[in-house]
Amino acid sequence: MNVVIVNDYDYVQGGASKIAIESANLLASSGCRVIFFCGVSDQGRSDLKGVEVVVAADVDFLSNPSKLKGAAQGIFGFTVKDRMARLLARLDKRNTVVHFHGWTKALSSSVFDAVFQAGFRSVLTLHDFFVACPNGGFYNYQNREICEKKSLSLACLMENCDSRSYTFKLYRSARLLVQNSVVGVNSKVDAYLYISKFSHRLIAPYLAGRNSLVEYLPNPISMEKPAGRVRVEENDFFLYVGRLSKEKGVEVFCEATRRAGKRAIVVGDGELLGELKARFGGADSCIKFVGWKQPHEVADYIRNARCFVFPSLWYETFGLTVCEALAQGVPCLVSSDTAAIDFIDGKNGLVFPRNDVSALANAMIEIDSNENLGQMSEQAFGAYWRAPFSSARYEQRLLDLYSRLLGS
């Protein structure tokens, strides 16, 4: 079986890239011929192993010296379409599946157009909301609120919700219009994979494929089962892991930590790092900022945490770090309007109202003083490992889906 994995980058640049690369390696190790089709390549940073790489562009849209050419490339990249068409011309559609992960930063919907026109079977993992929303998040970056406007409605088009500018919002809207109304990304893919039930509820109204499969396949978590749970009752700090940007809610976390009078560690980097250090750092501060860390270092911080906090202000589509914490037996505090609430049942953590500093501070005090914290930890550990999101399970589900699509 041939599998073409499509993603903007061939190195980890975000969650979609991580899963695209991991799935490529898993499928290659299982005996599939895997071709990784990307917009931008950096072999020095790539973790691909035994996988052919086909590069379709030199730079992503934002890095193009010409803003006009970058915008045109983003709306519909003719060169990208041509390179995908040439790749498909040397493959047999009877035993080939094309699996899309990310396309909005260096490829464009033209890559789908080539696949549809050539008649190859296709799969799209819905890592974000770009199949439905211009900015991919159903989030207004200007007022820092979740957006409930119908995508591409007049109210949507008039709203300056983009993280950059209203001009950029209009560009993204044109891109989405071409993507769905001309190319048919939301209707012509053979199988759409949603990674959380929460995200599916938001995306489903925008999927128009009458004969398309729509299935649940959560992201894999590459972790061996530990010998036992973390003894969280012996640990003493709350943990945040993620990008330091406004929509991630890290400011809410820091302010709530200060109000609750608890110790905390912030792992991650981003545009808010300097501001957060100035406001909440210092020699006598209860909050420690440690910057970006390698995955194995993040795992060490999780193992030494008393509780993990996921304070995101926008929906998210999965909540990988929450699952990683639960897998270690670390209870979680999760913001109410995120996909991560799918994994919290009140026995392994608590849900608090989104963007509510006081509520989070109270939840931190409550869980910190809970005499049953050890039991919460046991519940988190046991529940996760009864049905783990293992790489082996993920690989087998993919192979089963591909076989069904190919009729074999």
Rounded (to 5) percent helix, strand, coil in the chain: 40, 15, 40
Q: How many residues does the chain have?
A: 408
Helices (H) and strands (E) in the chain, counts: 14, 15
One-letter amino acid identity for 301? Y
Q: What pLDDT is stored for residue 170 in this prediction?
A: 95
Domains of the chain plus CATH, in order, are: 2-220+390-406 (3.40.50.2000), 232-386 (3.40.50.2000)
According to DSSP, residue 100 is labeled E
CA-CA distance, 370 to 215, in Å (whole number)? 38
277 by Cβ neighbours in 10 Å (0-12 / 13-18 / 19+) ranks as middle
Q: CB 315: neighbour CB atoms within 10 A?
A: 25
What's the whole-model pTM score? 0.90
CA-CA distance, 303 to 230, in Å (whole number)? 6
CA-CA distance, 269 to 193, in Å (whole number)? 30
Q: What pLDDT is stored for residue 81 in this prediction?
A: 96
Sole residue written with tokens 């499969």 = 213
Strand pairing of 139-140 and 145-146?
A: antiparallel
Whether 164 and 61 have beta carbons less than 8 Å apart is answered as no
Q: What pLDDT is stored for residue 43 in this prediction?
A: 78
What the block records as the tokens of 21 is 């690369």
Q: How far apart, in Å, are the Cα atoms of 198 and each of 4, 14, 129, 343, 354? A: 28, 20, 12, 10, 15
**pLDDT tens for the 408 residues of the chain, in order:** 999 999 999 888 778 888 999 999 999 999 999 999 999 988 778 889 889 999 998 788 888 888 888 888 899 999 999 999 999 999 999 999 999 999 999 999 999 999 999 999 999 999 999 999 999 999 999 988 999 999 999 999 999 999 889 999 999 999 999 999 999 999 999 999 999 999 999 999 999 888 899 999 999 988 889 999 999 999 999 999 998 998 999 999 999 999 999 999 999 998 999 999 999 988 788 999 999 888 889 999 999 999 999 999 999 999 889 999 999 999 999 999 999 999 999 999 999 999 999 999 999 999 988 788 999 999 999 999 999 999 999 999 999 999 999 996
CA-CA distance, 329 to 403, in Å (whole number)? 36
Three-state secondary-structure class, residue 170: helix
Q: What pLDDT is stored for residue 119 in this prediction?
A: 97
Sole residue written with tokens 């934002």 = 62
